[in-house]
């Protein structure tokens, strides 16, 4: 009998990107099938490797990395992050405002644990990167989703945000560039969000892990550069731009009126010390990564592998009858829409599972990103052009006679 139960804290916590469909994929692999994995933004299996100098720096410093470090991170890494934001124009950032973590993931949960009391509300984009919703719920808060509008390039619906603010609302989360939609928000949207945050005393949490992965030279704006009178917590790291997701190297930076947040900062410091420190060897990758030539540009500019793969995947997908898609301006994903009436789809997880079992291609259902309707899925365009052609070709064939 199953008498050892998970904690009630986990009642509303879910992370479907690594959820039940993955178990079925593992089972099929055990049976000997090759699965085309277009489900997670993990660069390494697709031959997208880190620049050599980063690996070199980590190896070179390995001997010096045996001890715990300051719980907020090693000095050169924090200083490099501080200067990185100063160069973007945020002048009041100090070394104490930088926290290094085991990836952005750890810092997201830490930031929410440090802020929320039971019932406090946080505005989160819909669709979202589901770790945000999970972290808010785990911390006892309530994730309130605001619409990102597919008809308007997936930008946040500002009226919906305003309508969902009440006295319990503590913060608003932006994922910019966005996972899963690929939207890269223009300055006008960011300024409007700042205005809303200011009028309602909200903290802005801005997850910018894809900030360097924008296509055709599109600029990315860190919202923290546009305000010094709203508290902004900015997150970024090396996982995607420097192709080292396994290193677990990320950071968060506080800017704006920190003097209003002394107690919160004390809480963040307590939580940071409780995990002793972030993995030390990986922190030695940060200074090198942020300085000098940015090799990600070779992948995202015209002719670059990621840009070409994005264009190909977008074209092949939107050629399939019953699929439409907003072309991603940034990031590693497409979030296409299915004509649910045509295919009679009422359960998107069922659709993803049926496709996996029949065609051995793994995607993620839109509901895994807290999208409320069963009419979207997410596809990663990291695989080679050849593999993308095979996987999307299988989807076309599958949908040609799929009915739920």
Q: How far is the CB of 210 from ligand PLP (least distance, A)?
A: 7
CA-wise closest residue to 310 among 300, 298, 297:
300
Residues of this chain that interact with ligand PLP (CB under 6 A) are 41, 103-105, 129, 175, 179, 207, 209, 237, 239, 245, 250
Nearer Cβ to ligand PLP (157/207) = 207
Name the residue nearer to ligand PLP (CB basis): 103 or 114: 103
Q: How far is the CB of 245 from ligand PLP (least distance, A)?
A: 5
Q: Which is nearer to ligand PLP, 104 or 112 (CB)?
A: 104
- 8 A C-beta contact, residue 241 and residue 296: yes
Q: What is the distance in angstroms between the CA of the first residue and the CA of the last residue of the chain? A: 35
Minimum distance, C-beta of residue 184 to ligand PLP, in the bound complex (Å)? 13
Nearer Cβ to ligand PLP, position 39 or 295? Answer: 39
Q: Record the tokens describing residue 389, joined without a space.
A: 């052609």
- Of the pair 287, 402, the CB lying nearest ligand PLP is at 287
Q: Which is nearer to ligand PLP, 175 or 392 (CB)?
A: 175
- What is the rounded CA–CA span in Å between residue 333 and residue 39? 9
To ligand PLP, the closest distance from the beta carbon of 241 in angstroms equals 10
Indicate the residue among 182 and 374 with the shorter CB distance to ligand PLP.
182
Contacts 24+ apart (CB under 8 A), 225-228: 225/88, 225/89, 225/90, 226/187, 226/190, 226/191, 226/194, 227/194, 227/198, 227/256, 228/92, 228/255, 228/256, 228/257
Respond yes or no on whether the N-terminal peptide bond of residue 267 is cis (omega within 30° of 0): no
Contact predicate 57/284, CB 8 Å = yes
Where are the extended beta strands (E) located within 106-192? 121-126, 142-149, 155-156, 169-175
In the complex, what is the shortest distance from the CB of residue 105 to ligand PLP, in angstroms, rounded to a whole number?
3
Q: Closest Cα partner for 77 from 306, 279, 308, 262?
A: 279
How far apart, in whole angstroms, are the C-alpha atoms of residue 335 and residue 328? 8
CB of 131 to ligand PLP, least distance (A): 6
What is the rounded CA–CA span in Å between residue 148 and residue 164? 13
Q: Tell me if residue 61 falls in helix, strand or coil.
A: coil
Rounded to a whole number of angstroms, the minimum distance from the CB of residue 302 to ligand PLP is 24
């Amino acid at each position: 009998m199953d008498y050892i139960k998970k904690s009630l804290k986990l009642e509303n916590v879910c992370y479907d990107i690594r959820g039940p469909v993955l178990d079925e994929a593992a089972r099929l692999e055990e049976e000997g099938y090759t699965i085309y994995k277009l489900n997670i933004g993990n660069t390494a299996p697709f031959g997208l490797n880190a620049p050599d100098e980063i690996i070199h720096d980590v190896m070179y410093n390995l001997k010096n990395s045996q001890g715990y470090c300051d719980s907020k991170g090693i000095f050169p890494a924090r200083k490099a992050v501080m200067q990185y934001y100063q160069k973007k124009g945020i002048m009041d950032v100090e070394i104490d405002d930088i926290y290094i973590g085991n990836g952005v993931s750890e810092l997201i949960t830490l930031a929410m644990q440090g802020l929320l009391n039971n019932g406090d509300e946080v505005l989160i984009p819909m669709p979202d990167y589901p770790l945000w919703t999970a972290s808010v719920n785990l911390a006892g808060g309530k994730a309130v989703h605001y619409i990102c509008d597919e008809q308007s390039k997936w930008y946040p619906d500002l009226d919906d945000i305003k309508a969902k603010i009440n006295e319990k609302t503590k913060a608003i989360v932006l994922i910019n560039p966005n996972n899963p939609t690929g939207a890269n928000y223009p300055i006008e949207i960011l300024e409007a969000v700042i205005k809303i945050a200011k009028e309602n005393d909200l903290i802005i949490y801005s997850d910018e892990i894809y900030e360097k992965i924008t296509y055709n030279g599109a600029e990315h704006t860190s919202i923290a550069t546009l305000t010094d009178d709203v508290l902004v917590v900015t997150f970024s790291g090396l996982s995607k731009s420097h192709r080292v997701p396994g290193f677990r190297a990320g950071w968060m930076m506080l800017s704006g009126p920190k003097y209003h947040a002394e107690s919160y900062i004390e809480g963040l410091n307590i939580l940071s010390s409780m995990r002793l420190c972030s993995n030390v060897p990986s922190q030695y990758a940060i200074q090198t990564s942020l300085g000098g030539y940015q090799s990600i540009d070779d992948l995202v500019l015209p002719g670059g592998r990621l840009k070409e793969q994005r264009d190909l995947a977008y074209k092949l997908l939107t050629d399939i009858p019953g699929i439409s898609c907003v072309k991603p301006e940034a990031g590693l994903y497409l979030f296409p829409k299915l004509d649910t009436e045509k295919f009679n789809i009422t359960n998107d997880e069922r659709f993803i599972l049926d496709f996996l079992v029949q065609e051995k291609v793994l995607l993620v259902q839109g509901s895994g990103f807290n999208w409320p309707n069963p009419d979207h899925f997410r596809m990663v365009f990291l695989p080679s052009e050849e593999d993308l052609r095979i996987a999307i070709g299988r989807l076309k064939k599958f949908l040609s006679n799929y009915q739920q």
